[in-house]
A and B are shown apart, each in its own frame.
Chain A
Amino acid sequence: MKSIVFVAVLFSSFAVKAQTVNWASDHQSARHLASGQLAIDNALTYSIQYGYRVKSKRQTIINLEYAAPFGKTIADDFNIKTGAQFMWVKKGNLYFASEFRTVLRRFENNYTRLVNVGADISTTIGYYRKHWFVAAELGFDKAILTHFKHSKEYKEVFPAVKDGWYEPATGGILYLGLRLGYSARNITVYLKAGRKIEQDLQTQPLLPFYAQIGFVLQFKTIGSKK
């Protein structure tokens, strides 16, 4: 318990989810974004992400993220998200952006294996300068369809358990937080933290907060012209 509290305090003292971009940085011609994060987000997790800046009128980045918790068993639990984020409005240094991602996630323990297809929709509004930014984010992570497959251990507990796809949507968590970032040269380092609540707006998840520290590296394809 002490160790949980310690790590929680450590991370929440930094100010987790989509690829965090400084919309005002001067590296907008760099099409590729690579990032790495360490987070408390339903566990102590690590993640890597790749983003590609699409040629369009408004800044648009499509991305792919893999996140997994630390733990003894590798790849029994993970999260793969893919989607796009759009910068809709810029008014002076104020930027308004949204992100839409589909989620494929997996959970396994001694009793069950869950595979879920979901969606994560978030929006950010913030003050962005060339070298720093601060933004607020609001998002909803919805577990839409979940497939349940139970182990023989759980079938000993409850032999009549029914495996298969379950409906209606099995879960949903709202999150609200802050992002702080610093950009220099082609790298942005950032901190994010916030609170979570389940979709009934009453129940707290076991970890009712999230926090993330990460970096985003922006680069052009090797050999490409400026």
Chain B
Amino acid sequence: MKSAAVIILLFIVSSCTKGKFIQQEGNLVPNTVEQDPTLPALAVNGTVFHAETFGNPQNSILVILHGGPGSDYRYLLNCKEFASRGYFVVFFDQRGSGLSKRHNKEDFSIQLMIDDLNAVIHYYRKSPTQKLFLLGHSWGAILATAYINQFPSNINGAIFCEPGGFKWTDIEAYVKRARDIRFTSEILNDAFYLDQFITGKKDQHAILDYKLGLLAAAESSADNPTGNEALLPFWRAGAVVNKALFELGEKQQPDWTGNLKQFTPPVLFVYSERNRAYGLDHARLVSSAYKQVQLQRVDNAGHDFLSFPSGWMQFFPVALQYLNSL
């Protein structure tokens, strides 16, 4: 009995290959711009963003804002197509997200996220007359609205894709519906069962990011009300920024609609047919904060319609026509 235990123990110990440390970036999650100097990067507002641009810098700017908080722009790369239609397309992973530099939870504020966007815009905008558009998906659309609410005259147009809401109460209601999942479903096991295998302290970013990334697999499940058809491409899930901004939202109960009536251009507001947690009523409620709204439904697609062919092929011509009209 004793010898069997010793053999099992030796087997386990010998199986451990040195160098595979769970906290080590680059093992389970990719290196960020801090560790990998070959990544395209932009240093502004006291941090380093993973950022890329496509198209002629003199053209009208289209800034792409990813969701999450904590996702990254990889799943939005279809938007590169706007570059071939006369737009200068700017992608960046928001603070603490994707391949951008990590920050501790205490460093985040919603205002800082707005300031980051403002700094990125100022970096790329050559003159005040260069047209500037925002395209935000989910949380990215909320960030776009928070920015417009603060700087209503800076932007020439905006495309919002299924933002949870522009007031915390609307966001809360949407998130609750989006997480309404049967307790016996596989998706819930995939989320909760993991906790007994991996736990991470608040500063062990690589572990926390890896765990959140694994949860992203649930997004494509048939049980998920958001209606996606497949797994979403991503680089790294930013667990700390995700937690920080949700906690700030709960605490501060923000409302980013106060100055939106000062924003005069029409906005394009897009929602998907298959996202059971969204729907026309919620789209009308959320978009009503703006003066002029072009409401558009994308059929046969879910929340991440920008990433998959059926959604993208419906979205792109509508979005292009909207931008060209401004």
Q: Which residue on chain B has the smallest CB distance to residue A167?
A: B16
Contacting pair B183 A77 (CB below 8 A): no
Contact with B along A147-171 (1 / 0, CB 8 A): 1100001001110111011111011
Bits for A103-114, please: 1 = Cβ < 8 Å to B, else 0: 001010111101
Q: Is A116 an interface residue (CB 8 A)?
A: yes
Contact code string B278-314 (vs A, CB < 8 Å = 1, else 0) = 0000000000000000000000000000000000000
* Residues 4-57 of B at the A interface (beta carbon under 8 Å): 12, 15-17, 20-22, 26-30
A23 to chain B, nearest CB (A): 27
A170 touches B22 (CB 8 A): yes
Interface centre among B17, B29, B186, by most chain A C-beta atoms within 10 angstroms, is B186
With A105-B196, A171-B199, A205-B195 given, is the CB distance from A162 to B15 under 8 Å?
Answer: no
Q: How far is the CA of A1 from the CA of B183 in the complex (A)?
A: 9
B217 adjacent to A111 (CB under 8 Å): yes
Inter-chain contact A69/B189, CB cutoff 8 Å = yes
| Binary A-proximity of B177-200 (CB < 8 A = 1, otherwise 0) | 101111111101111111111111
| Min CB–CB distance A127 → chain B (angstroms) | 30
In the bound complex, residues from chain A placing their C-beta under 8 Å from that of B192 are 42-43, 205-207
* Residues of A111-132 whose CB lies within 8 A of B: 111-112, 114, 116-118
Whether A14 sits at the interface, judged by CB under 8 Å, is no
Are A165 and B183 closer than 8 Å at their CB atoms? Answer: no
Shortest Cβ gap from A7 to chain B (Å):
5
| Stretch in contact with the other chain, from A56-64, A82-90, A196-204 | A196-204
**CB atoms of B201 and A107 under 8 A apart:** no
Contact B196 A171 (CB under 8 A): yes
The residue of chain A having its C-beta at the shortest distance from the C-beta of B219 within the complex is: A110
Cβ-neighbour of B20 out of A43, A79, A117, A165 (below 8 A): A165
Nearest CB in chain B: distance from A59 CB, A: 22
Least distance between A200 CB and chain B CB atoms (Å) = 5
A11 to B296, CA, bound (A): 43
A206–B189 alpha-carbon span in the complex (Å): 11
Which of B191, B198, B233 is A157 in contact with, Cβ under 8 Å? B233
- Is the pair B182, A3 in contact by a Cβ cutoff of 8 Å? yes
Task: Tell whether, in the assembled complex, residue A199 and residue B199 are in contact, meaning their CB atoms are under 8 Å apart.
Answer: yes
B183 touches A111 (CB 8 A): no
Q: Which residue of A lies closest to B12 (CB)?
A: A145
The residues of A that contact B220 with a CB separation of less than 8 Å are 110
Nearest residue, chain A, Cβ from B176: A1
Find out whether the CB atom of A158 lies under 8 angstroms from the CB atom of B218. no
Asked whether, in the complex, the Cβ of B199 is within 8 Å of the Cβ of A198, the reply is yes
Total count of chain A residues near the partner, CB < 8 A: 56
Q: Which residues of A contact B234 (CB under 8 A)?
A: 157
- Tell me which of A1, A156, A173 contacts B196 (CB under 8 A): A173
- How far apart sit A153 and B181, CA to CA, in the bound complex (Å)? 23
> Are A167's CB and B22's CB within 8 A?
yes
Q: Is B136 an interface residue (CB 8 A)?
A: no
Q: Is A44 an interface residue (CB 8 A)?
A: yes
A200 touches B213 (CB 8 A): no
Do A157 and B213 touch across chains, with their CB atoms under 8 A apart? yes
- Which residues of the partner chain A approach B235 to less than 8 Å between Cβ atoms? 157-158
In the assembled complex, A72 has its CB within 8 A of some CB on chain B? yes
Contact of B217 among A110, A146, A207 (CB under 8 A): A110
Is A193 an interface residue when CB atoms closer than 8 A count as contact?
A: no
Between B27, B30, B220, the greatest number of chain A beta carbons within 10 A of the residue's beta carbon is seen for B27
- Partner of B202 from the list A3, A43, A170, A202 (CB cut-off 8 Å) is A202
Q: When chains A and B are docked, how far (Å) is the Cα of A2 from the Cα of B193? A: 19
Verify if B260 is at the interface (C-beta below 8 Å from A).
no
B231 at the interface (CB under 8 A from A): yes
A141 CB–B CB distance under 8 Å: yes
Chain B proximity mask over A35-57: 1 for CB below 8 Å, otherwise 0? 00000001110000000000000
Q: Are B180 and A148 in contact (CB under 8 A)?
A: no
Check A160/B26 contact, CB under 8 A, given A71-B188, A165-B17: yes
Any A CB within 8 A of the CB of B77: no
Q: Which residues of A contact B198 (CB under 8 A)?
A: 114, 143, 146, 170-171
A110 to B231, CA, bound (A): 9
Contact (Cβ within 8 A) A200 B199:
yes
| Cα of A96 to Cα of B100 in the assembled complex, Å | 53
* B199 near A168: Cβ-Cβ < 8 Å: no
Contact B196 A42 (CB under 8 A): yes
Cα A6 to Cα B184 in complex, Å, equals: 12
Chain B residues, CB < 8 A from A160: 26, 30
> Can you list 7 residue pairs at the A/B interface with Cβ under 8 Å?
A107-B193, A110-B217, A117-B12, A141-B196, A153-B217, A161-B28, A200-B199
Given contacts A145-B12, A153-B217, A158-B28, 9 further A-B contacts (CB under 8 A): A7-B183, A42-B192, A105-B196, A109-B214, A157-B234, A165-B17, A168-B22, A205-B196, A207-B195
Give B contacts to A, CB under 8 Å. Answer: 12, 15-17, 20-22, 26-30, 176-177, 179-186, 188-202, 207, 213-214, 216-218, 220, 231, 233-235
9 tightest A-B CB contacts, nearest first: A71-B186, A171-B199, A110-B217, A205-B195, A70-B184, A72-B186, A109-B190, A198-B199, A69-B189
